[in-house]
């Protein structure tokens, strides 16, 4: 499956609303940036809302999987998402780095690290992405 991930990702209205941009894709990996602004949903103490962090986790993981797809792979969707919130995120931007740990015939396992602009780890996620054949 061949797609222009960066163009498609960055022009998506939902990603634009949240302030998400796809910075880089490589085989089995992706890097997504969240620019924190006035419209970024907030949680406790004006930190970035946990739902936004879960969304970044999912978006980075899916993009990493798409970067690893072969022509006979058919996307099936996120099957499971787990996230550990390690500290509140209050900084100017956050970055999610996703790496495909294993890709089988039906599932891909992706690890996602979310860091702030000081490179401090704020959240750690794991996503199972379903594939169809």
Give me the number of domains the chain comprises: 1
32, exposed or middle or buried, with CB in 10 Å at 0-12, 13-18, 19+? buried
In tens, the pLDDT along 76-119 reads 999 999 999 999 998 899 999 999 999 999 999 999 999 999 99
pLDDT band with cut points at 50, 70 and 90 for residue 1: very low
User: Domain with 116 in it: what CATH number?
Assistant: 3.10.129.10
Residue 4 CB coordination number (10 Å): 9
Give the span between the Cα atoms of 39 and 82, in whole angstroms: 25
In tens, the pLDDT along 27-41 reads 999 999 999 988 899
pLDDT(2) > 60: no
Residue ranges making up the domain that contains 128: 5-132
pTM higher than 0.85: yes
Using DSSP's 3-state secondary structure scheme, residue 5 falls into helix
pLDDT at 86: 97
């Amino acid at each position: 499956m061949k797609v222009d991930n960066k163009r498609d990702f960055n022009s998506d209205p939902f990603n634009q609303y949240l302030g998400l941009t796809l910075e880089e894709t490589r085989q089995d990996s992706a890097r997504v940036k969240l620019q924190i602004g006035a419209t970024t949903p907030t949680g406790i103490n004006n930190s970035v809302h946990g739902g936004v962090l879960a969304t970044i986790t999912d978006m980075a993981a899916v993009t990493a999987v798409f970067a690893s797809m072969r022509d006979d792979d058919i996307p099936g969707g996120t099957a499971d998402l787990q996230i550990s919130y390690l500290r509140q995120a209050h900084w100017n931007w956050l970055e999610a780095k996703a790496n495909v740990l294993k890709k089988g015939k039906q599932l891909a396992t992706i690890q996602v690290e979310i860091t702030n602009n000081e490179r401090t780890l704020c959240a750690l996620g794991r996503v199972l992405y379903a594939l169809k054949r």
